Amino acid sequence: MAKLIQENDLNNSAVDDTQSPPLASKNASLLSDAGKRLEKALKHIDISEDAIARLRYPKATLSVHIPVRMDDGSLKVFAGYRVRYDDTRGPGKGGVRYHPGVNLDEVQSLAFWMTFKCALLDLPFGGAKGGITVNPKELSKSELERLSRGYVDAIAGFIGPNIDILAPDVYTNSTIMGWMMDQYSIINRQLVRGVVTGKPLTLGGSQGRNEATATGAFYVIEAILPKFDIKPEQTTVAVQGFGNAGAIIAELLFKAGYKVVAVSDSQGGIYAPQGLDIPSIRHHKAQSRRIKAVYCDDSVCSIVEHQNISNAELLALDVDILVPAALENQITAANASDIKAKFIFEVANGPIDSAADEILLAKGIKIFPDILVNAGGVTVSYFEWVQNRNGWYWELEEINQRLKTKMETEVEKTWAIAQKLEVDMRTAAYIHGLNRLGEALDAKGTRDYFKQ
């Protein structure tokens, strides 16, 4: 039931390379928008035409349909995807998301971002991504397990610890990753821990992986703000998205002394100018699955003064730091003029589109891009992959120290590029990643080499 989609199928075999932006297909709006960021970077570096041509499209795209027997005996068929954008620097690496909005364009775009994220962090991986079009909240745990195992059955020949490595993403977690690893091992009749990262610790997972995206983002924020002489206790923060990454980054910032004044999830948000008690809110949400402005003393929680706000209102709050930690395209040309934050740290993938970028930069807002800010997840996934291969596992303190060093190193290198070339941090991040990708691609030979 799997169909390998060729590049020509995606791009109608009539793409005019002299007219279309790099890495853009005429039918893939999100991927096309992602490619516009690359155009800005290309103006500042010397990279071969061969490398650009290789990066223009995904290397391989797999579309599958997964039949699942539901608990009531009925059969439902779900669409799934896996895209390996580039594997020049190593096997593909990227998460699998479960969401009703998943489509091929989104997965290709996420794989594109992963390609540059891995290069930016100097990880020996290429970029990949996967997803299933499903609302996981409508499925029982047994149905989710059958869906997850069915997805691996459908893509098993497309993935592997030296080919393409899965990880958790939106609405997937360590349990689902454990099912996927187990199913791949069953198919191959041997234990293959390295095909999946983000697994439970007892199945070969790594310390710190669950918190890695948020922890890495926290290290980036802590490395950047001193450059602007900003102190935590004088800094207000709003976090859009209170899932795994958003809730953890909110709590890390709260514990470091930042005043977190607003948080939100898909149902809406809460705002309290005096600041919120984030550990209490996390505790309450774990019990009720709802965000409420509360203060908890042990098991007793009481409501504190606050305003109920929408996600749109949260984005427009007058705060020092805005942290989009939800989904793509939350800030567009339609609402960019409403943004008042001084700094934006993208914990979500692609929360700002390219048109909004220009509006925000013109207003003097500093944007720190997803491919740098949220790279802690893939970095600790790399650590997990290494530990699986070696059979030697590190303690949490060592994991976090390695992550901190990695994030701070690449922040400083990206910052130096931005200062030297007088470009924004997103463009600097793409320049940094593109330089590494270009070197790897050119090592296989370019037109100049073969003309000699």
Q: Does domain 3-8+33-198 have CATH number 3.90.79.10?
A: no
Q: Over the stretch 186-212, which tens digit does the pLDDT of each residue have?
A: 999 999 999 999 999 999 999 999 999
Do the two domains 3-8+33-198 and 212-373 of this chain adopt the same fold?
A: yes
pTM of structure: 0.87
Buried b (16+ CB within 10 A) or exposed e, 127-142: bbbbbbbbebeebeee
Catalytic (active-site) positions: 129
**pLDDT surpassing 90 at residue 327:** no
Q: Are 414 and 427 in contact (CB under 8 A)?
A: no
% residues pLDDT > 90 (the chain)? 75
SS (H, E, C) the chain: CCEEECHHHHHCCCCCCCCCCCCCCCCCHHHHHHHHHHHHHHCCCCCCHHHHHHHCCCCEEEEEEEEEECCCCCEEEEEEEEEEEECCCCCEEEEEEEECCCCHHHHHHHHHHHHHHHHHCCCCCEEEEEEEECCHHHCCHHHHHHHHHHHHHHHHHHCECCCEEEEECCCCCHHHHHHHHHHHHHHHCCCCHHHECCCCHHHCCCCCCCCHHHHHHHHHHHHHHHHHCCCHHHCEEEEECCCHHHHHHHHHHHHCCCEEEEEEECCEEEECCCCCCHHHHHHHHHHHCCCCCEEEECCEEEECCCEEECHHHHHCCCCCEEEECCCCCCECCCCHHHCCCCEEECCCCCCECHHHHHHHHHCCCEEECHHHHCCHHHHHHHHHHHHHHHCCCCCHHHHHHHHHHHHHHHHHHHHHHHHHHCCCHHHHHHHHHHHHHHHHHHCCCCHHHHHC
pLDDT at 2 over 70: no
Length of the chain: 452
Average the pLDDT over 67-90 and give the result: 97
Q: How confident is the model at residue 7 (pLDDT cuts 50, 70, 90)?
A: very low
Comparing 23-27, 85-89, 381-385, 407-411, which segment has the lowest mean pLDDT? 23-27
pLDDT at position 154 is: 98
> What percent of the chain is predicted at pLDDT more than 70?
92
- Given this model, what pLDDT does residue 452 score? 64
d(CA 369, CA 363): 17
In the predicted structure, residue 17 carries a pLDDT above the cut 60: no
| CB 201 within 8 Å of CB 185 | no
pLDDT tens across 249-292, in order? 999 999 999 999 999 998 899 999 999 999 999 988 888 888 88
Q: Choose the weakest-confidence range: 11-20, 42-51, 303-312, 315-324.
A: 11-20
Q: What is the pLDDT of residue 1?
A: 36
pLDDT tens digits, one per residue of 359-388: 999 999 999 999 999 999 999 999 999 999
What are 380-409's pLDDT values in tens digits?
999 999 999 999 999 999 999 999 999 999
CA atoms in the 13 A half-sphere facing the CB of 54: 23
The residue among 301, 333, 317, 335 whose CA lies nearest residue 269 is 317
Report in angstroms the alpha-carbon separations of 277 from 60, 151, 263, 311, 353: 46, 40, 11, 19, 31
pLDDT tens profile 431-443: 999 999 988 888 8
CATH 2.30.30.190 holds for 212-373? no
Domain ranges of the chain: 3-8+33-198, 212-373
Residue tagged 């207003």 (tokens): 363
Give the model confidence (pLDDT) of 97-138 as tens digits: 999 999 999 999 999 989 999 999 999 999 999 999 999 999
**What pLDDT is recorded for position 247?**
95
Return contacts of 15-20, CB within 8 angstroms, 24+ apart. Answer: 17/53, 17/56
pLDDT at 319 over 70: yes
